[in-house]
Amino acid sequence: MHIIKTASLFFIFFSLFTVNVHSQGSSIPEAEIDPDTDFLQRTYTTSSISGEAIEIDGLIEEAAWEAVEWSGNYKEFEPDNNTAPAEETKMKIVYDDKNLYVAFRCYADPESIVQRMGRRDDFPGDWVELNIDSYNDDRTAFSFTISASGVKGDEFISNNGNFDPSWNPIWYMSTNLDDEGWTAEVKIPLSQLRFGNEQEQVWGIQSTRLVFEKGERSTWQPVPANPAGWVSSFGELRGLKNLKPQKQLEIQPYSVGRFNSYEAEKGNPFKTGEDGELTAGLDAKIGVTNDLTVDLTINPDFGQVEADPGAVSLDGFEIFFEERRPFFVENKSVFDYSFADTQDNLFFSRRIGRTPQGSAYGPNTAYVDQPNNTTILGAAKFSGKTEDGWTIGVLESLTANEFADVIGEDGEEREELVEPLTNYFVGRLQKDFNDRNSYIGGMFTATHRNLENNLPMLHNEAYSGGLDFKHNWKERTYYLEGSAVISKVKGSEEAIADTQNSIVHLFQRTDADHVEVDPERTSLTGTGGRLEFGKGGGDNWRYKLGGKWLSPELELNDIGFLRQADEIKQYAGIIRLFNKPTDLYRRAHIVLEQSTSFDFEGNHNRTHYELQAFMNYKNNWWTEIGGAHKPRIFINSFLRGGPRWRYNEEDYFYAFVGSDQTKKLFGKVGYIHSDATQDNFRFREYRAGLNYQPLNSMSLSLDLSFAKNPNKTQYVAERSFEDNARYILGEIDQETLSATFRLNYNINPNLTIQYYGQPYIFKADYSNLNYVLDPVAKDLNDRVAWFDEEQVSFENDTYLVDENRDNITDYMIKNPDFAFVQFRSNLVARWEYIPGSEIYLVWSQGINGMGNVDNGINSIVNNQLLRQKPTNTFLIKATYRFIL
């Protein structure tokens, strides 16, 4: 298992099943913590040093530090919980009118200290960390991490344990190595924190230290191995008196120069071989109060954002890609409303600035310059949390009319609208209560498009809203959480008909009695939600039991994400944790899950059983194994509006093993194996990864994946035969190969070079065409019938089908074989020349194209990948952060 930087993965994993002891602050003596106690809350009392100077050089020599004494007695969090750690750690905290100061003394053999470098938020090597719950709400906190090599990390913690590294405050730190180990000094401007206006503040705090070589994490406030939450387990920071809330005002203008080179297309004036542009924009952060902040962006640029990984979808559904753009990633937890146990969400920020939904290509066009993304004119976020427990988030964004430049076959030039002027609004509100053990919240979204009789297939209005809650009791051991959503979309008859017929809804399904396409409708209204009860804390057992529903008319994809509507699902899970180290392992767990799903007509579509196990061995190697049985698999969407389809029973298993990740060279290998009865389909995937740290300043990684997925019944097309719908399938030999290479080089903590490269090849070779007889038959031979050689001929890359053998072609099918080739790479040099101000130099390369399916993987790499001229983008971006 990985050496986990924070508790984020720890609590994300568990969420799937989702007295006061004084320390040495000021002159108060520290009480020894008995390992047999119930992890009583500790308190640190700080002191003001107004008028005294502290230089942040890592040496801890200033007289101001004498205002308080060291606080130590950290306890091991993992692997051997609540025992004395191998290495001792001490901490001091003082403050003045503008800043909070923290000092750390980390004892260690100097030869054992791992000083690996990395970019901000990489958390390399040995590190120490301070978490501050300045709201004192037991749910949110600010995290500051200092590595021995001088690399800083910062994260915003939400939902009692979700760590968000997109938060990038301005703060200062320095480290120093000596004969006793290493030390660190930290200065955190109070303007970067959020707190109330009480005369005397009480904050929650936690400090964590990682000794990388030993894989040992220890904490200042002892935490049980299976806590029900992270922030709620903090100790207290007292002694903060007469703090004045600091209103934040930051302005960050930027400029971008961009040059593109690519293969010229003869005669195409839009593809001359090169182009360029110079743009400018502005980001700003304004503290309305000490609790609430406005973030603004005008004409944002995301040129330095890493490209999405390669992917191909044969089932017709949209592929989900994570948000990577800084403006939308920062503070994203405030706007999260995931109401089901999937990626379904009321707000999916990648809808803003999306690829245009219209197309300028047509029968009379010669050349088209189609934009890749919609221009974001501006966006603003108002977010934060008040001292009385209100979490507030408001986002407003406006995207421009986006036009494609078109040259017709007659030589006439024109512009054609491909995405209309659109306004997006998101509002989020939550309130803590029950001594911060519970919350209730709501969300509302609205999308308005200025269609002006253009793009009639789009909704002109779309709304969604919801209520959610979570209640914890018995010291957060048990929980009950739930959510409910409603959506309404409006548009022309064409737009609503398109929505009803889309892959998300498929109202045209021929065997569905509970839905039907109404071509005269101009709106749709749907609902969804989830309710779950579980045990999330306490002893070594966790469990959950829940259900969700997505009504047929639920539609969220104007500003949210919804993969498929019309589902009712029940699910349950239980986990057994083994966190006490033995002679065999450091920690382990076993998980058992079960689920069933239905549609709103009552059809029983799926049953799923799965068992997973994980073990982190004593030598820090790890193994993960699992398997599942799916005795019932029915898919409403398989025939793209045709009747419900049945797959054969499926069994699969997987196994992964990895070596000790504290070593300079470590790796992992894995295998995934799936089979359906009657050889309906198979899946084999081989994965391997290797990481190497030749220098403290350099790391390299390579991840490889190869998959084969043959299937006897892959959907191909629908045709008409003797006045009936004929659903044509084919046997597919599907292969996928991808490799991801990363290189990170740190000249110093503020000057880094990163390279990312990923070739991706997907090959789909069809044969043995067949057609559907009885789509729900249990036996595959009753479900489909195969064409014989007399019924199918092949000419001009087209299958000619004479189904009734009368020597007359009944229908034709274009050869569905294809191979997709993609290469993406980014080389980024980033220099943070002063805190918060950066210069980026970027070189991006890209290749997209169709390969020859008759070639093997090696030939496709040689002919369609290595010999194709890539598109090159060179970019320089400079920002300067003014703090006013």
Highest mean pLDDT among 114-118, 361-365, 449-453, 777-781: 777-781
pLDDT of residue 799: 94
CB atoms < 10 A from the CB of 479, how many? 23
pLDDT of residue 38: 59
Residue that terminates a domain, selected from 633, 648, 682: 633
Q: How many domains is the chain partitioned into structurally?
A: 2
Average pLDDT (492-520) is: 95
Inform me whether the pLDDT recorded for 391 exceeds 50: yes
HSE, CB side, 13 Å, CA atoms: give it for residue 321. 15
| 157 assigned to some structural domain | yes
> Of residues 850 and 78, which shows the higher confidence score?
78
pLDDT of residue 27: 30
Average pLDDT (403-407) is: 92
pLDDT of residue 422: 96
Q: To the nearest whole number, what is the mean pLDDT of the chain?
A: 89
pLDDT of residue 28: 30
pTM of the model: 0.87
Average pLDDT (594-620) is: 96
pLDDT of residue 130: 97
pLDDT of residue 33: 38
pLDDT of residue 737: 93
DSSP string covering 74-94: -EEEESSTTS--SS-EEEEEE
Inform me whether the pLDDT recorded for 22 exceeds 70: no
pLDDT of residue 514: 95
The whole domain housing 18 covers: 8-241
Give the CA-trace dihedral at 123, 124, 130, 131, to 10 degrees: 30
Inform me whether the pLDDT recorded for 25 exceeds 70: no
Among residues of the chain, what percentage have pLDDT more than 90? 68
45 vs 40: CA distance, rounded Å: 16
Q: Is 785 helix (H, G, I), strand (E, B) or coil?
A: strand
| 234 assigned to some structural domain | yes
Q: Strand locations in 179-243, DSSP E?
A: 181-189, 200-211, 216-219, 235-241
Which CATH number fits the domain that encloses residue 15?
Answer: 2.60.40.1190
- Could you tell me the two tokens for 306? 């890493």
Inform me whether the pLDDT recorded for 594 exceeds 70: yes
Inform me whether the pLDDT recorded for 12 exceeds 60: no
Inform me whether the pLDDT recorded for 541 exceeds 90: yes
Among residues of the chain, what percentage have pLDDT more than 70? 95
Instruction: Indicate the pLDDT class of residue 94, thresholds 50, 70 and 90.
Output: very high
Q: Summarize pLDDT for 756-788 with one digit per residue, the tens.
A: 999 999 999 999 999 999 999 999 999 999 999
| 117 assigned to some structural domain | yes
Inform me whether the pLDDT recorded for 580 exceeds 70: yes
pLDDT of residue 516: 94
pLDDT of residue 198: 84
Cis ω for the linkage preceding 224 (within 30 of 0) = no
Instruction: Indicate the pLDDT class of residue 798, thresholds 50, 70 and 90.
Output: very high
Burial class (CB in 10 A: 0-12, 13-18, 19+), 53: exposed
Q: Summarize pLDDT for 647-694 with one digit per residue, the tens.
A: 999 999 999 999 999 899 999 999 999 999 999 999 999 999 999 999
Average pLDDT (463-487) is: 95
Task: Measure Cα distances from 425 to 285, 396, 397, 402 in Å.
Answer: 19, 5, 7, 19
Inform me whether the pLDDT recorded for 850 exceeds 90: no
pLDDT of residue 304: 63
HSE, CB side, 13 Å, CA atoms: give it for residue 717. 15
> Of residues 705 and 289, which shows the higher confidence score?
705
651 vs 648: CA distance, rounded Å: 10
Residue that terminates a domain, selected from 241, 266, 288: 241
| 793 assigned to some structural domain | no
DSSP string covering 377-418: EEEEEEEEE-TTSEEEEEEEEEE--EEEEEEETTS-EEEEEE
Residue that terminates a domain, selected from 617, 633, 649: 633
Find residue 384's DSSP bridge partners: 292, 392
